[in-house]
Amino acid sequence: MAGHTNYQQVRSEVDRVCRDCGRDPSSVVLVAVSKTVGADKVGVALGEGALDFGENRPDDLVAKHEAYPQARWHFIGNVQSRRLRDIVPVAHLVHSVYKVEHLPKIDAVARDCGKDCAILLEVNVSGEESKGGAPVEQAGELLEVASGLEHVQVRGLMTMAPRGDAAIARACFDDLHALLASLNRQFAARLDVPLSELSMGMSEDWREAIAAGATMVRIGRAVFSQSFA
């Protein structure tokens, strides 16, 4: 028995928080981060209405995509050049691109599989050294390079906030939102479509992220752990 997940509970809470902030619930995608659970739980969550799933290891992304190709698979982990041939063909969206050198490689793999690869640029807004992501000052350069590539589509930005302080997390999310607006102004002439996605917020800080304009929240433990309060 695979049991159940908390997907529906979390989705209704997300909807309620959206309404409380005057936002349309359909403007926020709940990415159920399934990295700590097996494919059986993914199947359960799919049955409960989940559609978007996040994985941080290429092998798990590939295996779970193979088990459930009808789901949308988001790659949220560390990007390595040698794994792009695994990631790009199956990823609905790669959230965690922050090295300039990866952009032409993603473009080449996408071209080879006859698709465009949708990505987000991961930005380390908090400046915490332990976190991935480009420094804020490099976001423009990344976008500049990506906007010249035919098979790479930058949809927006992603960040991770420091843990443990809601006010700091909120400030971090507000900063990412402001950066998105600033890049859209700076690149207005070069982007076919403005950047629109803000992937921010996890189990402990997704409420702050939605208040700050998140369009995607990446929630793992609150969806899949029976003990998460």
Ligand X SMILES: *Cc1c(COP(=O)(O)O)cnc(C)c1O
Nearer to ligand X, 79 or 149 (CB): 79
Segment 148 to 187, residues that bind ligand X, using CB under 6 A: 160
76 lies in the site for ligand X, by CB under 6 A: yes
In the complex, what is the shortest distance from the CB of residue 49 to ligand X, in angstroms, rounded to a whole number? 18
Long-range CB pairs of 45-53, under 8 A, 24+ apart, other chains included:
45/5, 45/7, 45/223, 45/224, 46/70, 46/71, 48/4, 48/5, 48/7, 48/8, 49/7, 49/8, 49/11, 50/5, 50/7, 50/11, 50/223, 52/92, 52/216
33 lies in the site for ligand X, by CB under 6 A: yes
Nearer to ligand X, 33 or 149 (CB): 33
The Cα–Cα gap between 30 and 53 comes to: 8
56 lies in the site for ligand X, by CB under 6 A: yes
Nearer to ligand X, 88 or 219 (CB): 219
34 lies in the site for ligand X, by CB under 6 A: no
Nearer to ligand X, 77 or 149 (CB): 77
* Look-up of token digits 């969806």: 223
Binding site for ligand X (CB under 6 A): 33, 35, 56, 76, 160, 202-203, 218-222
